[in-house]
Amino acid sequence: MIKSRFLPLVASLSILTVAAFAEDHNTLSAKEKADGWKLLFDGKDTDGWVAIGKTAFPEKGWSVQDGVLVHAEAGGGGDVVTKDRFENFELTFDWIIGAGANSGVKYNLPNPDKNVGFEYQLLDDEHHPDGIKGGRLHQTGSLYDLIEPPADKKINPVGEWNSSRIVVKGNHCEEWLNGVKTVEFELGSDDMKARIAKSKFAKVAHFGEKVSSPILLQDHGGLVKFRDIKIRTLDAK
């Protein structure tokens, strides 16, 4: 039995432990800083983000809650993009998708004011119609409508945190889910050109060409949460 005089100490230590773990999110270690990483979201505000095609962040739909960037289940607000543009980069982020929800992280947008670009799909695969009818080509971890993720991809259940990574270095691109590579392709390759020609993007001008563009978080209806959104620029070679 813990004696009563120790209870306040135990409680204090528990609070400090929880706080310490909470503080680990949306921060950069000394090594990360030395390696060139930057936070795109600090867990406190949305500085650095705007509604796509606008100069300010949406007044509804998106909010910061307990260190997490949240898109409301009710929807609204539209897509948001970084103020900065990126061409060669490594991007990491944690995310939760709500029941029946659909979202994505887009990059390499031909037109920075339009929400069309390569999309790292985030989806409730089992309950959203896009995941059911579109198959793996439209499910979480896909390069949306272009490249399927592995059938045995490592994904946590709806409502739990997942970690993702996108790498664009020269013409080489990769997408990762929970530490496992799900997508790999070369910009401008015959294979990618053929995939684009068969996709919904076939008639989008300059789609698939290498550009410097914002990073986009998609509002496609439903609850989605983001934290630990970090990026570093890379050399093209």
The strand pairing partners of 106, in sequence order, are: 119, 216
Q: Which helix (H) or strand (E) holds 177?
A: strand 172-177
Residues 6+ apart with CB under 8 A from 199: 145, 146
The pLDDT-based confidence of 2 (bands split at 50, 70, 90) is very low
Q: Which fold has domain 28-233?
A: Jelly Rolls (2.60.120)
Average pLDDT in the 122-144 region? 93
Averaged confidence pLDDT in the chain: 92
The pLDDT-based confidence of 130 (bands split at 50, 70, 90) is confident
Which of 102, 63, 97 minimizes the C-alpha distance to 80? 63
Q: Is the pLDDT of residue 21 over 60?
A: no
Q: What is the pLDDT of residue 221?
A: 85
159-197 per-position pLDDT tens digit: 999 999 999 999 999 999 999 999 999 999 999 999 999
Identify the weakest region by mean pLDDT among 33-37, 108-112, 119-123, 124-128.
124-128
The pTM of this model reads 0.90
Q: What is the pLDDT of residue 23?
A: 59
Average pLDDT in the 23-31 region? 92
* Residue extents of the structural domains in the chain: 28-233
| Cα angle 95-98-102, degrees, rounded to a multiple of 5 | 80
Q: What is the pLDDT of residue 129?
A: 86
Q: Is the pLDDT of residue 18 over 60?
A: no
Cβ-count burial 50-87 (b if 16+ within 10 Å, e if not):
bbbeeeebbeebbeeeebbbbbbeeeebbbbbbeeebb
Most confident of 15-19, 129-133, 212-216: 212-216
For residues 221 and 218, the model is more confident at: 218
